[in-house]
Structure 1
Amino acid sequence: MLMYLIGLNVQGGRIQASIPRSIFNKYGNSVEEFKMYIISNFIVQDKRIKTLAAQHKWTLTFSIRTVVELVEEPNFPLNQFRFINISELLTADTIDGSQLIDIIVEIVGKEEPREVTPQGGRPTKRLALKIQDVEKNTIEAVLFGDMVEQIQPHLKDGRVEPLIVVLQFFIAHRWKGEVISGPQ
């Protein structure tokens, strides 16, 4: 049995995740509808099977190394994703800085974290990342505060596999003619 999972965005757009037949017994009973999970070590692929349920070009595929953890008490709303491609940001005439976006990317570069103090605020950490989508489009993303601490362990040197992340609730801006993204 091959299992397909569908995630929705606020505009009704969907992205598909699949559990291959060969590893279904490992994951098939651990994923339930209307539950929230932290899923890591999955594969992002060009979708081979076009379905009406998910028109998105990419699919998330479980592997034998995929880890699925149930989030017992989510402390944030179970909002739908609004996935976009970096190419949409790069080709946009204007960028609406009030829209929250979600994006699946690989982290391909980073600066060292540094302390910053926003005007009238308290000191926090800042981390600039270079992110790339599966079409090889790149932009910069900036993380602040707790997000820097959360991602640091995954950015260790010597990592063999690419670091794929889903960034949710980000705002895109143009700065010095370049598109950058940061958390809301």
Structure 2
Amino acid sequence: MVESYDFVKDVNAKKLAWSFKVHIVRIWEIPNKFNLKEPNSIEMGGRIQASIPKSLVKKWRGVIIEFQMYTISNFIVIKKTNPIKRVTPGTWVLTFSHRTRVDHVVNLSFPLQPFRFKTIPQLINAESSVDNDLFDLIGEIVGKEDLKDLITNKGKETRRLAVVLQDLEYVH
């Protein structure tokens, strides 16, 4: 029997039985805002974002590892509602449920391409900073500015450190 998998580019909320074979590129925990030592969720990203809610963190913590391939099925597709927290391209999040199934793939069937590089000229010439997707950049830090104290729009005190990057492709 030949296994068939769906394509990430086809994801929508109309279908219920999705099945993917994916590389996990990034995985991180979102802390509970009332207790920073307790995770509120586990988030994963690559070509699409996946989320493990607080109720399932104990079951999945440490099971899924970065830069490994997995098959994943039986999850809920949810439309992203907060564009500020967008960490992957696309508009959908694969949300784990109690029925979610994840299996580690030993024989990799496609190459891992974990990085989404942007060049410094692409950043400088960007028309808008509305796109909040994470990306990768390679440069050399050649300087820094002094720390600046800031207050966020929610009234929280924070600091900002600006660094000066040198573009290694276009060294003068």
Q: Same fold (TM over 0.5)?
A: no
Larger radius of gyration: 2
Query: Shorter chain as normaliser: what TM range?
Result: 0.3 to 0.5
TM-score w.r.t. the length of structure 1 is: 0.37
